[in-house]
Amino acid sequence: MRVLLVEDDADLRAAVAVALRGAALAVDQADDLASADEMLCTNNYDCAVFDRMLPDGDALGFVHRRRRGGWTVPVLFLTARDSVADRVAGFEHGGDDYLVKPFGVAELVARVRSLCRRSGQRRPPVLRYADLEVDAARREVRRRGVLLTLTAKEFAVLEYVMSRPDQAVRRADIEEHCWDAMAEPMSNVVDVVIAQLRRKLGEPSLIGTVRGVGYRLSTDVGSP
């Protein structure tokens, strides 16, 4: 899942980005509305986090204008404004959640992951395929009931592929949703993570290669 973080405080932005990446989320960062607008026109996101007061304006109006144009990505507002009127305004202008500064980073991560799960198609809280189970809320993966240890990126890729069982998933789509703008273009990062997942998930393999396309979660990985 990929998140846009728009915050002009460089230290806070860096700390939040680290926490979100640690929760298996890809994060693109912007420090003003102009940069955010450019990123939103280029990339697809599962959630956007906006500081309200930015150097080039109030994010409330920016989000409201995008909502009127049909934009549906879930939005979390961050702000020092804690009055009831401010919180109501956040929701009325298209916000889905509102967190007052100072906040606990763990709470922010939990709220962002919840919003990410709202975007796109509805998913069950626990994804299951054959004897494999992915609990997105707890960030736990089990095969045949045995708890597996995955890195944040391995978890993100597996969760994305698990949400599309028996479908061919393009490498480009995996990279789009599981890596941010810092990823090296034309690299083989997706192939490396898939290889690591295959090793950790064990036999029989559940992740097959679709030649010229990408990968597919299947109980018959040898099929075309």
**99 with 138, same domain?**
no
Where is the domain boundary, 71, 94, 118?
Answer: 118
**175 with 102, same domain?**
no
Please tell me the distance from the alpha carbon of residue 142 to that of residue 122, in angstroms, as a whole number: 22
Confidence of residue 119 (pLDDT cuts 50, 70, 90): low
User: What's the structural domain count of the chain?
Assistant: 2
78 contacts 50 by C-beta, under 8 angstroms: yes
Where is the domain boundary, 63, 92, 118?
Answer: 118
Report pLDDT for 1: 81
> pLDDT at residue 114 above 50?
yes
Model's pTM, two decimal places?
0.64
> pLDDT at residue 135 above 90?
no
Q: Which residues pair with 208 in a beta bridge?
A: 216
- What percentage of the chain exceeds 90 in pLDDT? 45
Confidence of residue 22 (pLDDT cuts 50, 70, 90): confident
Residue with tokens 């401010």, as numbered in its chain: 86
Report pLDDT for 87: 87
Q: Is residue 223 domain-resident? A: no
**37 with 110, same domain?**
yes
Confidence of residue 170 (pLDDT cuts 50, 70, 90): confident
CATH assignment of the domain containing 180: 1.10.10.10
Domain containing 145: what range? 126-217
Confidence of residue 74 (pLDDT cuts 50, 70, 90): very high
Please tell me the distance from the alpha carbon of residue 43 to that of residue 140, in angstroms, as a whole number: 28
**95 with 144, same domain?**
no
Please tell me the distance from the alpha carbon of residue 33 to that of residue 54, in angstroms, as a whole number: 7
How far out from the chain centre does Cα 135 lie?
15
**86 with 167, same domain?**
no
2-11, pLDDT tens digit by residue? 899 999 999 9
Average pLDDT, the chain: 87
> pLDDT at residue 182 above 70?
no
Q: Is 23 exposed, middle or buried (0-12, 13-18, 19+ CB in 10 A)?
A: buried
**158 with 92, same domain?**
no
Please tell me the distance from the alpha carbon of residue 182 to that of residue 166, in angstroms, as a whole number: 30
